[in-house]
Amino acid sequence: MLPIRFPARQLAVLCIALGMMAAVQVPVRAGDAASVKIENFAFTPQELTVKVGTTVTFQNDDDIPHLVVATDSSFRSKALDTGDTYAFTFTKPGDFPYFCGIHPHMQGKITVTQ
């Protein structure tokens, strides 16, 4: 078997190209995962649109606890410490506004479509 040798510059370009291809995002479809970060006393993104069947994971990146609570009580997390996550699968279409149960000025909305 013959060894294959690439010059360092070509190898670097190849690695960068492969990394960029892996970073390309696809639309969120049913069954896919989506995420909301909790940071700086805000939900990011504040509004998110997903398909029915999508699991949304909320991750607390703040250094204090937060609670994720749906306005219609369809979901509610436990208190999330730094680094904790809460996941919820949306099984029906509609708008699902939510807020932080500890800091009610923090608000967001998940829109679920067919």
Interatomic CA distance for residues 68 and 80, integer angstroms: 8
pLDDT bracket for residue 3 (50, 70, 90): low
Query: pLDDT-based confidence at 21, cuts 50/70/90?
Result: very low
Q: Check residue 25 and give its pLDDT.
A: 33
> Given this model, what pLDDT does residue 31 score?
54
pLDDT, tens digit, for every residue of 78-95?
999 999 999 999 999 999
| Mode of pairing for the β-strands spanning 33-39 and 85-89 | unpaired
- Higher-pLDDT residue of 21, 51: 51
Residue 110 has pLDDT above 60, yes or no: yes
Strand order in the sheet with 68-70: 47-51, 107-113, 94-100, 68-70
- Residue 51: what residue type? K
Q: What is the DSSP letter of 2?
A: P
CA distance 63 to 24: 30
